[in-house]
Every structure is written in structure tokens, then in C-alpha cells.
Structure 1
């Protein structure tokens, strides 16, 4: 298995990326290799006198897509960027998964142009993870790829989210809930009400109804479905709660699960391959945990399971 990571992506690249790879290296099985895609000299500078572990490789690239660049233009104008080369390797199946804390738009566009969407997927969705009071995590989608969603898209998010939770998180019959302003099926916007009607008759997953904000962390579901606008607001609010309480000296196990570093990465579901994005401010610990999550995703063959379900 080869897990490729964009060494030049993120606010603290390449330092955080290289250090994260070194951090995870001793924990990886013999058959797993981390491939750092980026400028070899910059990577070597971070390494200093430390030897490169045998399970880490470098693929040299000479260009970088910066955070503020236009995704489509940057991919076209910088074919030797770490993101462009990473997707080329993924398309050629030279790697099993491509991860980056860099330009999210470029990662999304690059994925759609290289490995493309699974046939039948309306829109790929970005997955987040919502900590639960039990210590487990619920899958949350979408968290930003699709600000506006049709009812049919929310229904499909329920299906692919359920497949992800089953095969990657090992939950036998994941419960799927729809974010809403009340538990009753007639509550909410017209889009959410229509989505509810589709989801309650869909036999491909275990729909348990609406989920109110007050129950977001209370183990009432395993998969939480919403549009990307709502999901992104919820995720960033949770991150801010963690930062505020941490700054006030609050120490709690549940609170620590709100830290973005706890999971490290967010898969993009609905693609013909494994793609994962990370927070732009990712630390070495976040990169380490993203690589471990990427390993689980490759092992689960979840994108193939989604492909089979929609064929």
C-alpha cells in the first residue's frame, strides 16, 4: 500500500507534513509506504541529518499550488505541482490514496478531472467526523463541497455515508439521520422536508429520522446528513468551542475529540479512488492521524463498495 501526501500543502508545509510522516512511520505495517510528493530539497531541509526511514519515499516536484490560487487555472498552469503530480500518480494507480492539507478547491477539482466521480454520483461529498459522548465518532456529510443540495443529493449522502461508516468505521448497520430544526418529518425547509420523504423509504440504509442540533453529540446516530453549508458551519463552530475551552484551561476527553487533530483528514466520497483533504493549519499530529485514517480507508475498499452499490 502506498499513501501519498502532498508535502507542499498546508500553512506549515513542508515542515508539518514531513514531521507527521516521520511520526507515523514506526506505527505502519511493513507493507505500507508513505510517499511525500513535493520539492526534494525542501523536504531534505526539514529532515536535516536524520535519515529517511525505509517506509518513506519522495517524489520530486518543482511547483506548488498556493492556498489562494484559482483551482482550475492553477492545475492547468502548474502540471508539475505537488497536487497535479499526486493526482497523476493516483490516476495511474501508482499510489492507493492521495492526501493534502493544501488548496481544497484544487484537490476537489483535481479529483474530478483525474479519477472522476463514480458513475451515478450526483456530487461527491466531503466527510467530517462528529465526536459523540460515547467516545466514538459519527460521520458528517457534506461539510463544504456542496453548499446547495437537492433532496436527491441528501438522500444519496445518506447511502454513501452509510457505506463509509460500515466498511471504514466497522459499524454493522449504521443509523442515518437528517439534520433538521425539529424531529417531526414536516419540519424544516422545503428541501429538507422533501429529502426526508426520500430517505424514509430508501431501503439501502437505516434511516432513523431527523436530528436536532441538541442531539448532535449524543450517540443518536452514526451518520449525519446535511448540505455543505450547514455542515461546514457546524464543524467550524465545534473547532472554535474546542479552542475557546482549551484556552480557558478546560481538560476533558470528549472535548479533545473536537480537536481537528484527533482525526486529521476528511475523505471525499463518491470518487473512483481514495482522496483525503486536511485542515490548512494541520500539525504533525494531524498529518499522522490523517495517514492512519487513509490506511483504514484503503483497506476498507470503500470507494469500490460505493461503486458496486450504485452500479
Structure 2
């Protein structure tokens, strides 16, 4: 298995990314190779500085870097040899089984849409986030930022995407799907959520349990939480801020520790022809390592192929 990793993306790149790759090289399966993409002399110099002498990391040269503040589409067009463009090129040519980056989020999304492209039948690929459950484990929430405005049929597909992900990545056999709303009753919500409710309710391929409220986020009412990207991003950032506040006050608890972005390392883009993950720009080496491990599991679980089988049919 080959996991491509953007060495130049992120606020603390390339140092934090290369350190993360070195940690991940000790934790991935023996048959997994990490393809570290970036300026070859810089990356190799850091590997030498960190004392890496193994054979689980291969350096792939990319002479250009897309900076965090650059316009995504322009940057990808003007920088074809950037680490993000090269990473997606490897994924498209099936020379990598997954691609991970803590770089420019917009460029990662644009690259996904114009390089490996959406799975046939998918209206809008989604970024998924993870929700810790009080009873243990995680649920999945989507979308968390890729699609601020959605149509009812898009939210319905999020329920399908999330169900597949929850089953094969979170090991939940028959995941319960809930629609985030301002009340539990069927008639509650905006025109969007009311219409989406009816579509989700009529879909035989998902286990739809109805509307859920914000207070249900961390209980077992739903394993898959469906919402538009505007709502999901607010929920995600609020949850992350809770961890930061508690950490600053010296309050530590195993449940709230799961709110730390490092726990999963990255957010997968679901519904594209390949496995791609986006990490926080401030990702630490541990977060990078966990993103690589998640990418390895996505590839071995054949998540992308399962989406293709479901929606192409």
C-alpha cells in the first residue's frame, strides 16, 4: 500500500510533516510505503536530521508549493508541480492508494474535483468530521465545510455516504442516521431540512431515525449526523474550542480528550474516486501520523470502491 503525504502543506511544514511521517513509518503496516511529496533536497535533509534510516518512506520531488492563502483554482493551474497537484496526480494514476495534506483546504477540494473527480452519481462530495460518543467510540458528521449551501437530495446522499463510512470505518453494522434540526418533530426546520427529511425517510438503503437536536450530538441517538456544511463547520469548530478551553484550564478527561483534532488527524473527503484526507493547518507530528493511519484504514477498507459500487449502480 502507498500513502502519499504532502510534506510542504501546513503552518509548520515541512518540519512537522516530516516528523509525523517518521512516526507513522514505525506504526503503519509493514507493507505500507509513505510517499513524502515536496522539495526533495529539503525533505531528504530533514529525514537525515531526524535520524530516519528505514525503507518505509520514499521521497517524491515537487518543486512548487501552494501557500495557505493562495486562490485554490489559480494556484493549481499556475503550479502544476506543487505538492498538492503531484499528490493528486499519483492518486489519479493509482500510484498512491490515498493522499493526505495539511495544506490549502480549498486547493485540496478543487484538486479532488478536477483531478480524481467525484464518483459518478455523487452530486457533491463531502468533508466528514468525527463526533465522540459518551458511550465510547465515534460517530460521523457531514458535511463540515465543503458545501455551505445544499439541496435536499445532497443531504440525502450525505446520509448514504456517512452510512457506508460508519459501517466500514467505524465498524457500526447498521448505523443510525439523524438529520440535525431545531426540533425532533417531522415538520420542524427550514424548507431544506423538511424536504431532506422526506427524502431520507423514503430511502431504503439507510437507517433513518428522524430529526435530532444539538443536545443529541454526543449520545447514541444517531451514528451518522447529516447537515449542510455551514452548520457542520460551526458544530465542529465549537467542539474543538471546548477542548482548547478545558486544556487551557488544566481540566483533562478521557471523553473531552477525544475532541482534540489530533485524535483522528484529518477529515476525509467522501464521494471522490480515491481516498483523500485534509488535516488542520496547525497539525502536529502526532496529528500527521494519525492522518496517515486513517488513510491506511480507508484504503484497506476500500471505502472509495464501495462508494463507486453504490452510486454508479
Q: TM-score by structure 1 length?
A: 0.98
Q: Could you say which residue in structure 1 is the equivalent of 2:54?
A: 53
Q: Deviations over 1:118-149 (max 9, x none)?
A: 11100000010011112211011000000000
The structural deviation recorded for 1:49 is: 6.0
Equivalent residue runs for 1:148-297 within 5 Å: 148-297=149-298
- Select between 115-124 and 52-61 the one with higher mean Cα deviation: 52-61
Counterpart CA distance in 1 for 2:280 and 2:141 is 16
- Select between 211-220 and 39-48 the one with higher mean Cα deviation: 39-48
The structural deviation recorded for 1:52 is: 3.7
* SS, match of residue 187 in structure 2: coil
Counterpart CA distance in 2 for 1:86 and 1:71 is 15
Q: Deviations over 1:55-84 (max 9, x none)?
A: 111001111000000111100111111001
Q: TM-score by structure 2 length?
A: 0.98
Structure 1: runs of 5+ lacking an equivalent: none
Q: Deviations over 1:20-61 (max 9, x none)?
A: 111121112211111100012221332316134211110011
RMSD: 0.9
Q: Could you say which residue in structure 1 is the equivalent of 2:23?
A: 23
Counterpart CA distance in 2 for 1:219 and 1:119 is 32
Q: Deviations over 1:99-132 (max 9, x none)?
A: 1000011011111111111111000000100111
Q: Could you say which residue in structure 2 is the equivalent of 1:76?
A: 77
Q: Could you say which residue in structure 2 is the equivalent of 1:6?
A: 6
Residues matched between the structures, number: 311
For the 8 Å contact 2:44–2:59, the answer to whether it is kept is no
Q: Could you say which residue in structure 1 is the equivalent of 2:36?
A: 36
Structure 2: runs of 5+ lacking an equivalent: none
Q: Deviations over 1:185-210 (max 9, x none)?
A: 11111100110011111100100111
For the 8 Å contact 2:20–2:289, the answer to whether it is kept is yes
Counterpart CA distance in 1 for 2:143 and 2:268 is 11
Q: Could you say which residue in structure 2 is the equivalent of 1:119?
A: 120
Counterpart CA distance in 1 for 2:67 and 2:105 is 10
